[in-house]
Amino acid sequence: MTKAVTFDNTLAFAQNLIRSPSPSGHEGEVAALVRYEMESLGFRDIRTDEVGNVIGVVPGAGTAPAVLLNSHMDVVAEGDHREWEYPPFAAEVADGYLHGRGAMDIKGPLAIQTYAAAALAGRAPGDVIVAHTVFEERGGLGMKYLMESGTVTPGAVVIGEATHGDICIGHRGRGEIEVVIRGVAGHASAPDRACNALDLVPGVLDVVAEFSRGQAEDPVLGASTIVATGLDVLPESRNVIPDRVTVVLDWRVLPDIGTEAMTKCVREALSARLGTVNEEFAIDVSMAMESQCTYTGRTHERDLFTPGFLMDPSDPFVRVAASAVGRRSGEGPAVVRPWTFATDGGWSYGVFGIPTVGFAPGEERFAHTNRERLELDEARWVFERYPDLVLGLQQALT
């Protein structure tokens, strides 16, 4: 017997997900819960791919293009449990909110999307694919893999990142860049014999500050920003003059720039300013790399880059989404705006060109904090609006 598609069952599913902590690379338990729920709701073609994404299909009544609903299964670290008003993994319901890590980013919306798809069984003119992905919080390995695999070919994607009931249409991309300064190590008692890599740090920071003032701007997404966020020094001994210092830069870019152009820009800005320094120094600029091991045992060496994207606000597809959803408090279509943070939509539209919008409950200001919560009235409203959104998009695609 299939489970009833009710908001109460959706909430119970979200609570189960929150009670199973799932940092990036450790989504296995949550994936099993998602599979179980899909089975209980009568999904077809349920599968887990090589990197651990879980995909299931609610077959459509016709041959309209598929709509893909996507949330991620990983969550960010919870930090000190004592700093939380409600325990991070208890999934307590209090004062009209669901509390805990992942309540809004993104296990509540994940549950809503899964149940909304089930609500469309036999009603949608095309397939509704639900794909919940891994490693979104570390650059979106799961979504990138899913899109590259070609195993799903949706006509549109809906992302479950918090929109507070609005329709979100894009965001800036994020790249993490490393500027590595190399010198010559030496004993701290004899600086003359060394070439201190730290000596170049002020120059690098000056260049970054100067560079940050000339950033491109978009009327919808706002300005691109670049800022230094970290400094690693090697060797770590405090009586050794270091020969290797890494300055870490966080660059929020507009959608039209890729990783090669990013490193080239920074390299050129640095060499224009620091080109004449002592030849015993060397400066390398590259994207920060991370070795990511999925819970299914696959290791990927990848740069930390999430592409940006922006749908045209006047695109008919966006207008259909906004009027299908409607305004939560008031008349007319939903508010259309970008997100402040990055999402897997950067892959689906930014790189793979599949029309993508976001729709979910939750306020951005609670994401990644120890006050994370999901307002249940808003969650219920979104749950009720989701089927119309999918149907609207599907009709627009045919």
Contact positions vs Zn ion (CB under 5 A):
105-106, 161
Q: How far is the CB of 226 from Zn ion (least distance, A)?
A: 23
Written as six digits, the tokens of 213 are 């003032």
As measured in angstroms, the least distance from the Cβ of 341 to Zn ion is: 8
Which residue lies nearer to Zn ion by CB, 49 or 105?
Answer: 105
Minimum Å distance from CB 142 to Zn ion?
A: 12
Residue closest to Zn ion, measured at CB: 105
Burial class of residue 213 (count of CB atoms within 10 Å of its CB; 0-12, 13-18, 19+): exposed
Query: CB of residue 199 vs Zn ion: minimum separation in angstroms?
Result: 40
User: With respect to Zn ion, which residue has the nearer C-beta, 161 or 372?
Assistant: 161
Dihedral angle at the C-alpha atoms of 217, 218, 221, 222, nearest 10 degrees? Answer: 40
* H runs (alpha helix) in 194-329: 201-213, 259-274, 316-325
Return all residues near 241 (Cβ < 8 A) that are at least 6 apart: 183, 185, 186, 187, 188, 191, 194, 196, 198
Minimum CB separation of residue 102 from Zn ion in Å reads: 9
Q: Evaluate whether 198 touches 221 at the Cβ level (below 8 Å).
A: no
Which helix (H) or strand (E) segment holds residue 247: the answer is strand 244-253
CB of 71 to Zn ion, least distance (A): 8
**Quick one: 26 or 182, whose CB is closer to Zn ion?**
26
Q: Tokens for 317?
A: 């597809």
Of 362 and 392, the one with the shorter C-beta distance to Zn ion is 362
What is the C-alpha to C-alpha distance for residues 307 and 267, in angstroms, rounded to an integer? 20
Torsion of CA 76, 82, 86, 88, to 10 degrees: 30
For Zn ion, give the closer residue by CB, 78 or 161: 161
Question: For residues 17 and 106, which CB has a smaller minimum distance to Zn ion in the complex?
Answer: 106
